Structure 1
Amino acid sequence: MLEVIDLVKKYGKQNAVNNITFKLDGGEVVGLLGPNGAGKSTTMKCIVGLLRKTSGEIYIGGQDHLSVAAKKLFSYIPETPHVYDLLTVKEHLQFIAQAYGVKNWQSKAEKWMALYDLSDKQDKLGRDLSKGMRQKVSICCALLPDPQMLFFDEPMIGLDPKAIKNTKQIFRELKEQGKTILVSTHLIDGVENIADRIMIMKDGNIIGNDTLPNLKATLNSGADSSLEDLFLELTKDE
Structure 2
Amino acid sequence: MIAINNLTKSYSKFKAVDGVSLTAKPGEITILLGPNGAGKSTTIKSIAGLLKFEGEITIWGCPNKTLDAKKVFGYIPETPALYDLLTPMEHAEFIAKAYKLESGWEDKARAIFERLEIYDKKDKYIRELSKGMTQKLSIALALLIEPKAVLFDEPLVGLDPKAINEVLKILVELRSQEKSILVSTHIIDTINDVWDRAYIMNKGKIVSEITKNDFKGRDLKTIFFELTGEEEECRQ
- Into which bin does the TM-score normalised by the smaller protein fall? over 0.9
2:55 maps to a residue whose letter is G
Cα deviation, residue 189, structure 1: 1.5
**Identity of counterpart residues, as a percentage?**
48
Distance in 1 between the 2:209 and 2:12 partners? 28
Q: Equivalent residue for 2:70?
A: 71
> How big is the shift at 1:163?
0.8
Partner of 2:220: 227
Q: How does 1:13-162 map to 2 (within 5 A)?
A: 13-53=13-53, 55-103=54-102, 104-162=104-162
The structure-2 alpha-carbon separation of the partners of 1:181 and 1:236, relative to structure 1 and needing over 3 Å to count, comes to same
For 2:160 and 2:45, locate their aligned partners in 1 and report how far apart those are by CA, in whole Å: 25
CA distance in 1, matches of 2:217, 2:28: 24
Separation (CA, whole Å) in 2 of partners of 1:160 and 1:96 = 26
Deviations 1:99-124 (A, max 9, x none): 11222111101111101111111110
Supply the distance in 2 between the matched residues of 1:82 and 1:131 (Cα, whole angstroms). 12
Per-residue deviation at 1:135?
0.4
Q: How many residues align?
A: 229
Unaligned runs of 5+ in 2: 231-236
Cα deviations across residues 8-40 of structure 1 (Å, max 9, x unaligned)?
011111111111112222112101111111111
Q: State the SS of the aligned residue for 2:201.
A: strand
Looking at structure 1, the residues matched to 219 and 28 of structure 2 have their Cα atoms a distance apart, in angstroms, of: 21
Provide the secondary structure at the position in 2 that maps to 1:143.
helix
Q: What is the CA-CA distance between 1:190 and the residue it aligns to?
A: 2.6
The answer as to whether partners of 2:25 and 2:181 remain within 8 angstroms in 1 is: no
Partner amino acid, structure 1, of 2:100: G
Equivalent residue number for residue 219 of structure 1: none
SS in 2 for 1:155: coil
Moved over 2 A (4+): none
> Measured at CA, do residues 28 and 225 of structure 1 come closer, stay the same or move farther in structure 2, by a change above 3 Å?
closer
Deviation at 1:213, TM superposition (A): 3.5
Unpaired segments of 5 or more residues in structure 1? 217-222
Q: Look up the match of 2:8.
A: 8
The aligned residue for residue 205 of structure 2 is 205
Mean Cα displacement is larger for which, 97-106 or 146-155?
Answer: 97-106
- Within 5 Å, give how 1:179-194 maps onto structure 2: 179-194=179-194
Could you tell me how far 1:89 is from its partner in structure 2?
1.1
TM-score (norm 1): 0.93
TM-score, normalised to structure 2, is 0.94
CA deviation after TM superposition for structure 1 residue 224, in Å:
4.1
CA distance in 1, matches of 2:24, 2:157: 24
8 Å CA contact retained: 2:31, 2:184? yes
CA RMSD of aligned residues (A): 1.2
